[in-house]
Amino acid sequence: MRKLLTIAALLTVSALLVAGQTAEEIVGRLQANQVFRTSRIQGVMTLTDRFGTKETRFVSYSRGDAEALIEFTSPEEKGQKILRTKDEIYLFYPDAEEVIRLQGAAFRDAVLGSDMSYEDLTGGKTPLETYRVSLEGTETVDGAECYRIRMEAKARNVAYPVQVAWVDAKLWSARRMQQYSLAGRLLKEISLGGFQTVAGRTVATRMVLEDKLKKNSRTEFVVERIEVDIPLDSKLFTLEHLSW
């Protein structure tokens, strides 16, 4: 009897969660929780595949959701940079002293051989501008009650026509995401954890990304230090600064 009452209570809580929020509200709160006016992040990217494990350190800067600069600081990649301005991405390689603007199929290339593509770094539009969203119910992920949100692209020129996100109902951060092709094939899966409160909002400090089209491959990102809403020189996000 006690077990039946517990199950009934859980079902009641899930029903109340679903009834209290629309998909648009949930995605809007998720977006508001994860985008800061400015940020500076130090971290490490660890790629594990059939060749072994490789660590690469980086520093990233962002301004809103549209502008970002990533600089790799490990000896092997030191000085390599990625600049994102809205939907444009530029690469800088210090050895060649050359700035490259990505175009076409190059967006699908992997960043330093990882499970992340340059396409994953594009921004400039909010999820609600890009996708039609629907609430499919609630599910438990890593012991937390989450809203399950399905997102279907409004246009064809979107990297992932369908995405499913599990959004923590208390933290307003995604705990898991799956990205699909138009035909319904699972392309990538993302798991997030290590949640911390930063400037009154909850952010994930650990992300594991798996490209399902690769065999035995995963990339882990760990944030070691994060500063938000700090002064940043606007020149950081310019082509002139990229080649410094």
The domain ranges of the chain are 2-242
For the segment 118-133, the average pLDDT, to the nearest whole number, is 88
Q: Mean pLDDT of all residues in the chain?
A: 90
How many other CB atoms sit within 10 Å of the CB of residue 23?
A: 20
What pLDDT score does 20 carry? 61
Q: What percent of the chain has pLDDT over 70?
A: 91
Q: How many Cα atoms sit within 13 Å of 74 on the Cβ side?
A: 12
Interval 59-105: pLDDT, tens: 999 999 889 999 999 999 999 999 998 779 999 999 888 899 999 99
Query: Between residues 94 and 14, which one has the greater pLDDT?
Result: 94
pLDDT digits (tens, 9 = 90+) for 203-214: 999 999 999 999
pLDDT above 90: percentage of residues in the chain: 80
Quick check: helix, strand or coil at residue 123? Answer: coil
Residue 124's pLDDT band (cuts 50, 70, 90): low
Find residue 188's DSSP bridge partners: 179, 211
> What whole-number distance in Å separates Cα of residue 209 and Cα of residue 46?
10
b/e map of 154-176 (b: 16 or more CB within 10 Å)? eeeebbbbbbbbbbbbebbbbbb
The predicted structure's pLDDT at residue 4? 41
CA distances 180 to 79, 124, 131, 185, 210, Å, are 34, 21, 13, 5, 13
Please provide residue 204's backbone torsions phi and psi, each rounded to the nearest 5 degrees.
-85, 135
Write out pLDDT tens, residues 128-149. Answer: 999 999 999 999 999 999 999 9
CATH architecture of 2-242: Clam (2.50)
